[in-house]
Amino acid sequence: NAGVTQTPKFQVLKTGQSMTLQCAQDMNHNSMYWYRQDPGMGLRLIYYSASEGTTDKGEVPNGYNVSRLNKREFSLRLESAAPSQTSVYFCASSETGRRNQPQHFGDGTRLSIL
Amino acid sequence: SQQGEEDPQALSIQEGENATMNCSYKTSINNLQWYRQNSGRGLVHLILIRSNEREKHSGRLRVTLDTSKKSSSLLITASRAADTASYFCATDEGGDMRFGAGTRLTVKP
C-alpha cells in the first residue's frame, strides 16, 4: 500500500528557476490537495482538486499552478521560484469531493530556494 | 489563516503518563480532526469528531469537543516513546480544513 507518493523528496533551486512537484495516490480517491508547511505555522492550502479536470485556489495560491492530470496524479508547478517559497510541500488525498473529510498525506517535498 | 490553535506548543512527559493537548477555534464547525506528524513524515489522521458529538475514543486516544467554548482536547493515555510526535487539530472553515501550528509532544523513556 503506497498511499500518497511525492517526488522528489528534496530539491534545491535558484531564484527564478521553475520546478514541478509530482504527487500520485493509489487509493482511488476523488479529492487531492497541495499544502505548504512553514515553521511555527499550520499547513496552508495552496490548491485543491475535487475531481479530475477541476482545480480550485486555496489560501495561498500566488506563485503556483496545478494540474490534475488524471484521477491518480496532481502536480504543483512553481514557474519562477522565490526564496519565500522555501517550505515543505505536502500532497494529500481524500475519498470524497467534500473538503472536510479525513485526508491521507504523502511524506512531503523539502524545497529550498536560494 | 489558522483556524485551530493548539495549546501547549510543547509538552514533555515520562513514558506511562497521560498527555493532554488542547485546541481552540473561532467560528462554527461541522467537524474537528486530530492528526499526528512524526519527524520528517506526513500527517496521519487520528480521529474525527462531529459538531454534534461530545466525546470519541480510539484505542488510547480520547477526544472531547465543547462547541459552546469552541474547544477540543486530545488525551493520550499511558503514553509511549513512540507517541513522540507533533499533534495538529484541524477544523473546517468555509469547507476547507484549517490546521493549527501543532503541539510538539516528547515522551521520555
> Tens digit of pLDDT for each residue in A45-65?
999 999 998 999 999 999 999
Q: What is the mean pLDDT of chain A?
A: 95
| B97–A100 C-beta distance less than 8 A | yes
| B31–A42 C-beta distance less than 8 A | no
CA B91 to chain A, closest CA, distance in angstroms equals 8
pLDDT at B45: 97
Low-confidence ranges of chain B (pLDDT < 70): 1-4
The CA-to-CA distance between both ends of chain B, in Å, stands at 36
Residues ≥6 apart with Cβ < 8 Å to A7:
A21, A22, A109
Residues A96-113 have a mean pLDDT of 94
Q: Which three cell numbers stand for residue B54?
A: 461530545
| B33–A42 C-beta distance less than 8 A | no
pLDDT at A1: 64
Taking the Cβ of residue A103 and every Cβ of chain B, the question of whether any pair is shorter than 8 Å is answered with: yes
| B101–A100 C-beta distance less than 8 A | no
Which residues in chain A touch residue B1, judged by CB atoms under 8 angstroms apart?
59
Nearest-CA residue of chain B relative to A102?
B45
Q: Taking the alpha carbons of A57, A63, A69, A74 in that order, is the dihedral positive or negative? A: negative
Q: Pick A40's closest partner by Cβ from B40, B88, B101.
A: B101
